[in-house]
Amino acid sequence: MPHIIRTLSACAILLLGISCTDNPGLETRDSIAAPGEAGRPFPNAPEIAPIGVRIDKYLDLPDGAKGPGLDPKKGYRTEKLGRDLYMVTDNSYQSMFMVYETGVVVVDAPPTYATKLNEAIAEVTKLPITHIVYSHSHADHIGGTGSLDLSHNPVIVAHDETKMLLARDADPARPVPTVTFQNTYSLEVGSHVLKLSYHGNGHEPGNIFIDAPEQETLMVVDVVFPGWMPFRRLAVSQDIPGWLSQVEKIEKLPFKKLVTGHVTRLGTREDVKTQIEFDDDLKAVVGEALKSNAYVDGINPADMGNTWALVDDYTARVAVQCVTTLTRKWKSRLGGFDTFVWDNCYAMEQSLRVD
Ligand SMILES: [Zn+2]
């Protein structure tokens, strides 16, 4: 039974001039849900459906969230970024490869299309894969490494932290790096160079910047989402202040093309600026909601001894204010705004309270 209907007291009914005997079963809309079940919505509940509620039709994607199409037969698209440097994407994930005089460097191998990466490379060159660079340890970006042609025993380059995480994970699809670095590493192959650098924890320890200076291309994964809402819980970042500062750091670097590991197209400096604007709005709105909502307000007195209930109710009111305020400005500017706005409000709320 989803709801228990609370009836007005006889006294209240008499005050309303209604006879109790005439209406013995009178029920009101002043209802309260069973313990643990959804109750009445908060005042000013946002139009965006909360987490866990099925949506019949998500918001339409704005033009800025759309990218070039894919060849449906291939299921991937290869885009040239500059001399000998290519992006491969399935319009959800992105990776790169660079061809040099005697081999190929692959940067990331998302499992969603890694079996086709060998094909994509073969369309450009017959040279073997001699190097692999991991942007970070997450399986959704490098878990297709085991599907690549590894017959030439490629050198695998990554950050020290990535090696530690992969040694722990012992996943045959993500072989442990053979060359690691702490701050910077210059991968020089033939006439080409990739400059790798580490800027501390953000999305996860070991997530690096990969710069191809000649091609004016920068690859940083899971930090900027060109034209789109950041992935849920601010890209499941382990250090949100670090992640926010990396978005600002990217904006200051001299790139023309940004490979972000996700969604439909290359990123631009304008995309980074837009994300900084969104991040700043999110931070300001949550900061204001944390101050303007009382910690205990309208809670059922029977829950006063339940510390987690007090936190949850307060957090939910902050999130409601956050979602309502952001929706006005952002719902038609970012692809998938409705998918992760609740998660991102909750993530920022948590970060501003504890970081
Ligand atoms: Zn990741």
Rounded to the nearest angstrom, the distance between the alpha carbon of 82 and the centre of ligand 1 is 26
pLDDT (0 to 100) of residue 11: 34
Q: What is the mean pLDDT of the chain?
A: 92
8 A C-beta contact, residue 104 and residue 121? yes
CA distance 135 to 108: 6
Would residue 339 count as lying in a domain?
no
- The parent domain of residue 213 ranges over 66-270
Encoded tokens for 57: 């039709």
Q: Measured in angstroms, how far is the CA atom of residue 235 from the centroid of ligand 1?
A: 7
**Residue 294: inside a domain, yes or no?**
no
For 84: left if phi > 0, alpha if psi spans -120 to 50, otherwise beta; the answer is: left
Q: How far apart are the CA of 347 and the centre of ligand 1, in A?
A: 16
> Looking at residue 30, what is its pLDDT?
57
**Residue written as token pair 């930090």:** 223
Report how far ligand 1's centroid is from the alpha carbon of 207 (Å).
8
Instruction: Report which of 105, 85, 97 is spatially closest to residue 188, judged by C-alpha positions.
Output: 105
Q: Mean pLDDT over residues 195-206, rounded? A: 98
279-289 tens-digit pLDDT: 999 999 999 99
CA of 100 to the centre of ligand 1 (A): 28
Measured distance CA(105)–CA(124) in Å, rounded: 13
Q: How far is the CA of 153 from the centre of ligand 1 (A)?
A: 25
Distance CA 327, CA 331 (A): 5
More confidently predicted of 109 and 17? 109
pLDDT in tens, 233-269: 999 999 999 999 999 999 999 999 999 999 999 999 9
Write down the pLDDT at residue 15.
Answer: 37
Cα of 261 from ligand 1 centre, angstroms: 9
Distance 141 CA to ligand 1 centre (A): 7
> 138 CA distance to ligand 1 centroid (A)?
5
Q: Which residue has the higher pLDDT, 43 or 350?
A: 350
Q: Is residue 96 situated within a structural domain?
A: yes
CA of residue 306 relative to chain centroid, distance: 32
Ligand 1 centroid vs 139 CA: distance in angstroms? 8
Distance 135 CA to ligand 1 centre (A): 9
Distance 98 CA to ligand 1 centre (A): 22
pLDDT the model gives residue 246: 98
CB within 8 Å of 23: residues ≥ 6 apart: 13
Ligand 1 mean position, distance from CA 132 (Å): 17
Helix (H, G, I), strand (E, B) or coil at 89: strand
Say what the pLDDT of residue 43 is: 83
Tens of pLDDT, residues 309-320: 999 999 999 999
Q: Quote the number of domains for the chain.
A: 1
108-142 pLDDT per residue, tens: 999 999 999 999 999 999 999 999 999 999 999 99
Q: What is the pLDDT of residues 94-105, one digit of tens each?
A: 999 999 999 999
pLDDT for position 41: 85
CA–centroid distance, 164 to ligand 1, in Å, is: 16
Which domain CATH number covers 236? 3.60.15.10
Look at strands 85-89 and 77-82 and give their pairing.
antiparallel
Q: Is 212 within a domain?
A: yes
Ligand 1 geometric centre to CA of 242 (Å):
14
What's the rounded Cα separation, in Å, for the pair 103 and 128?
A: 5
The alpha carbon of 204 and the centre of ligand 1 are apart by a number of angstroms equal to 7
Q: Does 135 map to a domain?
A: yes
User: Going by C-beta distance under 8 Å and a sequence separation of 6 or more, which residues neighbour residue 250?
Assistant: 209, 218, 220, 223, 224, 258, 272
Distance 122 CA to ligand 1 centre (A): 27
Distance 298 CA to ligand 1 centre (A): 39
pLDDT digits (tens, 9 = 90+) for 291-305: 999 999 989 999 999
Helices (H), ranges, 46-186: 114-122, 139-142, 160-169
Q: Count the neighbouring beta carbons within 10 Å of the beta carbon of residue 311.
A: 12
Tell whether 138 is covered by a domain.
yes
Q: How many CB atoms lie within 10 A of CB 263?
A: 23
Is residue 216 within 8 A of residue 260, CB to CB? The reply is no
Q: For residues 158 and 177, is the Cβ–Cβ distance under 8 A?
A: yes
Could you tell me if residue 266 is inside a domain?
Answer: yes
DSSP string, 23-71: -TT---S--EEPTTS--SPPTT--SSPPTT---SSPPPPPGGG------
The span from the CA of 182 to the CA of 200, in Å, is 10
Task: Give tens-digit pLDDT for 74-85.
Answer: 999 999 999 999
Give the residue-averaged pLDDT of 55-81: 96
| Residue listed under structure tokens 């000998």 | 84
Q: What is the pLDDT of residue 7?
A: 34
112 located within any domain: yes
Q: Are residues 282 and 322 in contact, defined by beta-carbon separation less than 8 angstroms?
A: yes
